[in-house]
Amino acid sequence: MLRIPLLLFIFLTNSLIAQQKVSQERFKELMNDSTHVLLDVRTPEEFAEGFIAGNATTLNVNYFSNDFIAKVELKASKDQVLLVYCAAGGRSSTACKELKKAGFKRIFELEGGYNAWVAP
């Protein structure tokens, strides 16, 4: 009897940990780890106008590209922490859901996106 609630707890905990929307403060802390991946899902044109920089590896993979997941999989491990953002939060939210379905395990989405970003 105890096994079912425990399994349910583990499942729910893993589901919650897999994708989280985080504040700028938490995002800044996470992007200081060089083993993490900072994933900008905006267009290359938006990225060229400015991006968030940290110690984490920075990738720009356009969410609108037909092979979005495949491009991310080429450059990031499914076990790495992904720090995802777009301009305002719409694309990154959808991208995070797709990344989670593709098997990425630790995904953090920047609340408010690049447009709300305040540099450290």
Domain range summary for the chain, segments of one domain joined by +: 18-116
96 is catalytic: no
Residues of the chain with pLDDT under 70: 1-18, 120
| Cα gap 86→81, rounded to integer Å | 17
pLDDT of residue 62: 98
pTM (2 decimals)?
0.84
CATH architecture of 18-116: 3-Layer(aba) Sandwich (3.40)
Q: Which of 86, 87, 99, 110 is catalytic?
A: 86
Q: Which residues 6+ apart lie within 8 Å of 28 measured at CB?
A: 54, 120
